Amino acid sequence: MVNLVKFIRTGVMGTPLKGSAQFHKKMSWRIASATPEREKVLNWRLDNATSGGLIAELGVHQLDLANWFLNGLPTEAMGIGALTYYKDQRDVFDNVQALLRYPNGMHYSYTATIGNSFDGDLAMFFGTDCAIMVRERRAWMFKEADAPLLGWEVYAKKDAFYKESGISLRAGASKQDAQKAGADAEVVDPISSLQYALESFLINSHNLAVGVAEFAEAYGEGTDDDLREFLKEQEKNRQPAASWLDGYQATVAALQANRAVVTDQRLELPPDLFTLG
């Protein structure tokens, strides 16, 4: 996903216009337990007092993607929702839709339901030169007829989607041998997203500990500011590309979008809402 963000930041989309994402999966979200007390504890996601709803619990990842791809933070949130299907004393909506406004006229919509599974989960980003679809850890580019020729797309692997042809955005997809027999076999990454995240955490933790030890050996006692300055040199080698601030900002956007849905209000999101301190 980091490489895809870098690709988009080259300007391949032309002028960014909007984005959208969805999560559709029929599931009750309820966890059964032997006692009512324990069941209440386990099902905190079904209580508005403790849950961020579908947007915060499921959509935060796609809102994080929106902040990356649209290269900004939302300035306004609005939405609607309803408890349509599950009548089991929960008060968290099972069907929601949120709209967030971004700078420069861009906007992003997110819809989720746990009452229907059709079309699963995906994200779309639209620009004046192309649209990009992200689905199941893969991505495709759909070019406009008047978009400039990039050159490499002549050799790229293409997949049919109804009446459109999507250019596969994966490693090796733009090489000439991408069109050879057998090249259309689906590439499945055996490593899960969770495993990537845990590996990055362990690598970063090790490198940070090494950096602290090197600082102590080289300078002995020093101030916290000195240590922070020393460790900044290692930041370029850390994984993943997303930082704690990216996670915080995506969480704020998700919680505010859920608040807009629950209260049925249009909310202003000032810049200081996304900062700490």
Instruction: Round to whole Å and give the CA distance between 209 and 130.
Output: 44
Q: Backbone phi, then psi, for 123, in 5-degree steps?
A: -135, 145
- Non-local CB neighbours of 131 within 8 Å, separated by 6+ positions: 13, 124, 125, 141, 142
- Non-local CB neighbours of 50 within 8 Å, separated by 6+ positions: 44
Nearest to 21 by CA among 119, 115, 87, 92: 119
Instruction: Round to whole Å and give the CA distance between 78 and 268.
Output: 9
- Non-local CB neighbours of 10 within 8 Å, separated by 6+ positions: none
Instruction: Kindly list the domain boundaries of the chain, sorted by start residue.
Output: 2-191+244-274, 193-237
What string of pLDDT tens digits covers the 277 residues of the chain? 677 888 888 899 999 999 999 999 999 999 999 999 999 999 999 999 999 999 999 999 999 999 999 999 999 999 999 999 999 989 999 999 999 999 999 999 999 999 999 999 999 999 999 999 999 889 999 999 999 988 888 888 899 998 898 999 976 555 555 455 555 555 556 777 677 677 777 888 888 888 888 888 888 877 888 888 888 777 766 666 677 889 999 999 999 999 999 999 999 999 999 998 7
Instruction: Round to whole Å and give the CA distance between 246 and 18.
Output: 20
Hey, what CATH topology would domain 2-191+244-274 get?
Dihydrodipicolinate Reductase; domain 2 (3.30.360)
Q: Backbone phi, then psi, for 131, in 5-degree steps?
A: -115, 150
Strands (E) across 94-246 are located at 95-101, 107-113, 121-127, 130-135, 138-143, 158-161, 164-168
Residue 127 burial by CB count (10 A; 0-12/13-18/19+): exposed, middle or buried? buried
Name the DSSP class of 208: H
Q: Are 107 and 74 in contact (CB under 8 A)?
A: no
